[in-house]
Amino acid sequence: MSVIDKGSSDDLTKANAVVPVEVVGREHVALDVVALELCPTDGSQLPPWSPGAHVDLVLPSGLTRQYSLCGDPSRLGAYQIAVHRVDHGRGGSMEVHEHLLPGAIVGIRPPRNRFPLVNAEKYVFVAGGIGITPISAMVREIEARGLPWRLVYGGRSLDRMAFTDDLTALGSDRVELVPQDEAGFPDLRAVVRDAPAGAAVYCCGPAPMLAAIEHEVSATRDDIELRIERFVAPDEPQGERQAFEVELRRSGVTVTVPADRSILDVVIDAIGDVEFSCEQGICGACETKVLAGRPEHHDELLSPEERAEGVTMMICVGRSKTPRLVLDL
């Protein structure tokens, strides 16, 4: 079982310039879910992407939020994202719903894929709520390849579940819709039990769903591969934190990271312009090369092998096992 595979297309040396795009289409695809079509303001093509990728959306307020791409990867003149309105969230979805009308200009950074499709003979997809956004692109891709697939899609109610018509049109016999108000929760134990041997199982949704399917796979199946994508990082015991020094090699600055602050916070204070998004170790935007020292990882992205190598770290949540870290910033 593996969790959130790191995409091989990531390259920390690539520029992450913000590209201005215009909202040229806006559609309510479910209750409290709006889909936006984004086109470059200069009419150029956008960078290629693959199912599972997301982009950073730089909002007019200055907030940066990440959203999965859910359109057609072959159509590089436009990207599509879908955003669920969260009234008591961190403000990004509210801004999208209230202010990103057709004609609005926003910024995006090039796609990153931390949730890529792996090669398999069969696929099982499990989505909860807005977790359908990356899954929908995956289902269309696997259908286009002519490979066997199954989708189990749960939500609070049918009117809150996006893209249901499009997905059932691909194969109604392979799509199981589970609106909670009518049918309760998806039977994840049965999903895992019935997954064919050798299948790649992809799951995106709320934390309890992810925890439940992880438990079932680890307890009962060693012949399937589980890939998940989180919206929120799980709680992790941090222990007693210590202060440490961080040298920003390219900037020629050395800072002290106190026990109650993140490396990211301190770095922003010191040099200002640093790329970040989720601040929870789940998006990869702040991944930084480590030149010296031993990082302490608290992200949900790096594999055990990558953690052991200590070549990069997510500075929004990572800390240091040594008194001093040297970062390529």
User: Mapped to the 3 state alphabet, what secondary structure does 125-181 carry?
Assistant: EEEEHHHHHHHHHHHHHHHHHCCCEEEEEEECCHHHCCCHHHHHHHHHHHEEEEEHH
Q: Under a CB-based contact definition with an 8 Å cutoff, are residues 278 and 314 in contact?
A: no
User: 185: which 2 tokens?
Assistant: 């929760």
Spell out the domains of the chain, with CATH numbers in brackets. 19-108 (2.40.30.10), 123-229 (3.40.50.80), 244-327 (3.10.20.30)
The CA distance from 240 to 159, in Å, is 46
- What DSSP element (H or E) covers 306? helix 304-309
Do 291 and 328 touch, CB atoms closer than 8 A?
Answer: yes
Determine how β-strand 175-179 pairs with β-strand 64-68: unpaired
pLDDT of residue 5: 33
Q: pLDDT, tens digit, for every residue of 106-125? A: 999 899 898 999 999 999 99
**How close are the terminal C-alpha atoms of the chain, in Å?**
34
Residues 6+ apart with CB under 8 A from 107: 18, 19, 20, 21, 57, 58
Q: Which residues of the chain have pLDDT under 50?
A: 1-15
Q: Residue 255 and residue 253: Cα distance in Å, rounded?
A: 7
Cα–Cα distance, 123 to 208 (Å, whole number): 22
**Six-digit token pair at 62?**
């200055």
- In contact, 283 and 277? CB cutoff 8 Å: yes
In the DSSP assignment, the letter for residue 78 is -
Contacts of 219 (CB under 8 A, 6+ apart): none
Q: Which pLDDT belongs to residue 24? A: 97
Residue with tokens 């289409």: 25
